[in-house]
A and B are shown apart, each in its own frame.
Chain A
Amino acid sequence: MADSSSWSTALIKISPYTFSAIGIAIAIGVSVLGAAWGIYITGSSLIGAAIKAPRITSKNLISVIFCEAVAIYGVIVAIILQTKLESVPSSQIYAPESLRAGYAIFASGIIVGFANLVCGLCVGIIGSSCALSDAQNSSLFVKILVIEIFGSALGLFGVIVGIIMSAQATWPAKSV
């Protein structure tokens, strides 16, 4: 029986709105954390390397833009998730379908947030070594940029799965 497990009795007492709200907050908050982390790793190396090679500055801003894109992914998914949040009549709040919708939004937010966190970190580290090697040998810029593109694909994976999962967030109909 569903009620005999202690996990179940604890989980069904938590409102699906709690899970949804935390999921949406994590989607945007942790994505921005990843973007910020990547930007400061890239930016500090870029500025230091540009002391002796000022020509690299404008080209290597693209690494900073790759990190910023990660934050944009988080904003897009958070806006999509908050449109999935509907109000249901209070008799339906703990119905199985609303519980499932709450869990779907929560999981989608976790996926997008943490995938973007690691993506931003990865792109930041590669961007910093891109700037440093570009300062020494300018033919290396495009080659290291290929590695950075592999890194930014990880954020896209998170967005794809997050959007697929947000389609599962169907609340019970209000007419019931």
Chain B
Amino acid sequence: MGFIGPLGPLSSKSRPTPPLLISQQKPDVQIREIKNCLEPKQLSESSTRFPFPPILRSKRQRFRSTMASTFSGDETAPFFGFLGAAAALVFSCMGAAYGTAKSGVGVASMGVMRPELVMKSIVPVVMAGVLGIYGLIIAVIISTGINPKAKSYYLFDGYAHLSSGLACGLAGLSAGMAIGIVGDAGVRANAQQPKLFVGMILILIFAEALALYGLIVGIILSSRAGQSRAE
């Protein structure tokens, strides 16, 4: 492709001739031009049409005005938002899976000797399952909060959602590990000494509270997502 500059393709036929100076023109044209310089020119219909004068707008404003009905905000912000929802669910499920598996193995081993205690010992498994629900809550909150068509979604919102998801997810992962190990040891010990049941439950509650802290901070962070600017 040849270079097409502001004057059109480089050929002598299409290049316009430069305008004559006023002193080089005929007298009646000279009088008209001098009158035009002295009197204010009436703006014709064509010169008041948009865009006059041309406005230098930033790229983000261009997106907002040309695609106001479809998308507003930063383009890469949804990447971080969706990744936050993914982190919330995946890490919470990792913690829930670890808790369920570890304490489940303990229950099964213990149940061989004391089958009547199995149903009572399912408590650690239930508490681990709740961690998955915490992750599900945050993931659904985040993914329904990403809606660039209805509300602008800037990088601030994307990062807020990412941090919310990571907070809930990693807290759920750690709580799940704690619940798994405590549950495994607790149910095996409970089979040998029944008075330890209440103690096991108390320790499990402290471990579950860790995931709850993550859920609270995650909800607070994801509520910040709509507050990036004062509009």
- Taking Cβ atoms with an 8 Å cutoff, the residues of A that contact B are 1-3, 5, 7-8, 11-12, 95-97, 99-100, 103-104, 106-108, 110-111, 114-115, 118-119, 121-122, 125-126, 129-130, 132-133, 136-137, 139-140, 143-144, 146-148, 150-151, 153-154, 157-158, 160-161, 164-165, 168, 172
Contacts and interface: CB of A to CB of B under 8 A. Distances in A.
Given A97-B70, A164-B143, A126 B75 contact: no
Residues of B in contact with A, size category:
35 or more
Interface in B74-129: 74-76, 78-79, 82-83, 85-86, 89-90, 93-94, 96-98, 100-101, 104-105, 107-109, 111-112, 115, 118-119, 122, 125-126, 128-129
Shortest 3 CB-CB distances between A and B: which pairs?
A107-B82, A129-B108, A122-B97
B79 A11 contact: yes
Contact of B97 (A7, A154, A165): A154
Nearest to B108: A129
Contact of A133 (B101, B112, B128): B112
B133 to A, nearest CB: 7
A110 B79 CA distance: 12
Given A99-B75, A103-B83, A118-B90, 8 more contacts: A2-B155, A96-B63, A96-B73, A104-B78, A126-B100, A126-B105, A143-B115, A157-B132
Interface string B42-76: 00000000000000001110010001001101111
B76 A121 contact: no
B171 interface: no
Contacts of A160: 136
> DSSP class of A's interface residues: helix, strand, loop or mixed?
helix
Interface of B: 58-60, 63, 67, 70-71, 73-76, 78-79, 82-83, 85-86, 89-90, 93-94, 96-98, 100-101, 104-105, 107-109, 111-112, 115, 118-119, 122, 125-126, 128-129, 132-133, 135-136, 139-140, 143-144, 146-148, 155
A157 to B, nearest CB: 5
A144 B111 contact: yes
B83 A107 contact: yes
A94 to B, nearest CB: 8
Given A111-B86, A126-B101, A140 B111 contact: yes
A100 B78 contact: yes
A107 B104 contact: no
Contact of B105 (A5, A7, A125): A125
A81 B217 CA distance: 31
A3 B62 CA distance: 13
A165 B143 contact: yes
Contact of A164 (B83, B90, B128, B140): B140
A167 to B, nearest CB: 9
Contacts of A161: 85, 89, 136, 139-140, 143
B101 A121 contact: yes
Contact of A143 (B111, B136, B155): B111
Given A133-B108, A136-B112, A154-B96, A111 B89 contact: yes
